[in-house]
Amino acid sequence: MNPRQLAVAYGKKPYDLVLTLLQEMDIAAELNPGDHVLLKPNLVMAREASSGITTHPQLVEGVIRYLLEVGVKRITVAESSWTGGDTRRAFRVCGYEALEKKFAGNGVRLLDLKSDPIRTFEVRGGRFKVCRCPLEADYLVNLPVLKGHGATRMTCALKNMKGCIPDSEKRRYHAEGLHEPIALLNTLIRQNLVIVDGICGDPTSETGGNPLAMDRVILGKDPVLVDSYVAELMGYRPETIRHIALAAEYGVGVMDTLSAQIREIGQPDFVKIPPQGRGELDRLKAYILDRQACSACYGSTLYALQRLLETNQLSRLREKVCVGQGYRDLRMNGLGIGACTGGFQRFVNGCPPKARDIFEFLQSSLV
């Protein structure tokens, strides 16, 4: 697979989506039967994937099934929960112990990186401690969740590598503002493949509470490119997320999504929007007129509205925005989101459009 490629599959079944992506992009061509493959999910704490903060076990199961089918015999699922957290409990609550039992005898094991030996490196005048197993694996598959973060705005491929360091390092990273050490860490750990869990993330926090269905899985090889694409999905310009820009500066990857080859598989499904009373996203939902919206379009619109809220511009939005297949072929005034609203006088195109494009479109409509 070319590092300049990204593949996106839409749907609600992570197991099926990831198998489709791995097969379509022929990832088997990069693997050897004797390889030790390490899978790095995001299990920051012991919360189920429906909370919007941890990697769905069915996504990991799909990767394991694919690896076994192409002959890989050594597979490690490795993680270190947040500082002071119990990784073994996270493995249990998040469904990973059940995976280990399911594939018992197939060379699949769980590894709590809190107990992994440490290697120390000198990078740009600083000392960095990294768990040994992720460094020594033949092929590393990073499985982050598409979600927001209080300190870094977003967390995805680059920041998910923070689970590959000891707790003492995690404290230091926070003391140093996260961005610089995250970028430097990614010069030490090579990610061979990134598979983003975009089924259900939290756009507001890394610790959950406001899950938002986005119904997609994203696959790529360049973590900087993947994070840049995800940043745009969330309504940000990649260059404004400092650890992404620094990682590009340090040669980890490239941010140029315009020249990337993006392959999309399937289409977003219609989603029934849950009733009011489910967290702070409800304030944003009040700005949306939904008629059979697809989860991808609806989710991108919420991300764009969240960006308006963060930049103190939401109160200037005097019109509600229209989202959904129910607007197809209608000639209307108002603000339309997505290709289905192509008959509107003012609309942002795309199927689905990125939150960044929606954000800029809505900004131009403010009074």
Question: Over the stretch 110-119, which tens digit does the pLDDT of each residue have?
Answer: 999 999 999 9
Average pLDDT estimate for 114-136 = 96
Q: pLDDT category, 293, cuts 50, 70, 90? A: confident
Q: What is the pLDDT of residue 195?
A: 98
Q: What are the b/e assignments for 19-32, b being 16+ CB within 10 Å?
A: bbbbeebebeeebe
Look at 12-26, 156-170, 212-226, 259-273 and tell me which has the smallest mean pLDDT.
Answer: 259-273
SS (H, E, C) the chain: CCCCEEEEEECCCHHHHHHHHHHHCCHHHHCCCCCEEEEEECCCCCCCHHHCCCCCHHHHHHHHHHHHHCCCCEEEEEECCCCCCCHHHHHHHCCHHHHHHHCCCCCEEEEEHHHCCEEEEEECCEEEEEEHHHHHCCEEEEECECEEECCCEEECHHHHHHHHCCHHHHHHHHHCCCHHHHHHHHHHCCCCEEEEECCEECCCCCCCCCCEECCEEEEECCHHHHHHHHHHHCCCCHHHCHHHHHHHHCCCCCCCCCCCEEEEECCCCECCCCCCCCCCHHHHHCCEEECCCEHHHHHHHHHHHHHHHHCCCHHHCCCCEEECHHHCCCCEEEEEECHHHCCEEEEECCCCCCHHHHHHHHHCCCC
277 has a pLDDT exceeding 50: no
Average pLDDT estimate for 239-248 = 97
155 has a pLDDT exceeding 50: yes
Residues 6+ apart with CB under 8 A from 217: 8, 9, 14, 17, 18, 21, 59, 195, 196, 197, 198, 199
CATH number for region 5-265: 3.40.50
The percentage of the chain sitting over the pLDDT mark of 70, rounded to a whole number, equals: 96
Q: What is the pLDDT of residue 352?
A: 82
Q: What is the pLDDT of residue 208?
A: 65
Gap between the Cα atoms of 314 and 202, Å rounded: 20
227 has a pLDDT exceeding 70: yes
Q: What is the pLDDT of residue 271?
A: 55
Q: What is the pLDDT of residue 131?
A: 98
Contact between 47 and 93 under an 8 Å Cβ cutoff? The reply is yes
Q: CB-side exposure of 216: number of CA atoms within 13 Å? A: 27
240 has a pLDDT exceeding 50: yes
256 has a pLDDT exceeding 80: yes
279 has a pLDDT exceeding 70: no
Q: What is the pLDDT of residue 156?
A: 96
Average pLDDT estimate for 37-41 = 98
Contact between 146 and 213 under an 8 Å Cβ cutoff? The reply is no
pTM: 0.85
Residue 140 pairs in a beta bridge with 38
Express each pLDDT in 193-205 by its tens digit: 999 999 998 887 7
Nearest to 290 by CA among 307, 278, 302: 302
Express each pLDDT in 52-94 by its tens digit: 999 999 999 999 999 999 999 999 999 999 888 899 999 999 9
Q: pLDDT category, 39, cuts 50, 70, 90? A: very high
Q: What is the pLDDT of residue 130?
A: 98
Q: What is the pLDDT of residue 276?
A: 40
Q: Specify the higher pLDDT residue, 204 or 214.
A: 214
Average pLDDT score over the chain: 92
Cβ-based burial of 350 (10 A; exposed 0-12, middle 13-18, buried ≥19) = middle
Q: What is the pLDDT of residue 211?
A: 85
35 has a pLDDT exceeding 90: yes
Q: What is the pLDDT of residue 206?
A: 76
Q: pLDDT category, 275, cuts 50, 70, 90? A: very low
Alpha carbon distances (Å) from 361 to 8, 307, 336, 358: 24, 12, 10, 5
Alpha carbon distances (Å) from 90 to 49, 82, 154, 246, 309: 11, 10, 22, 31, 33
Q: Break the chain into its structural domains and give their ranges.
A: 5-265, 281-363
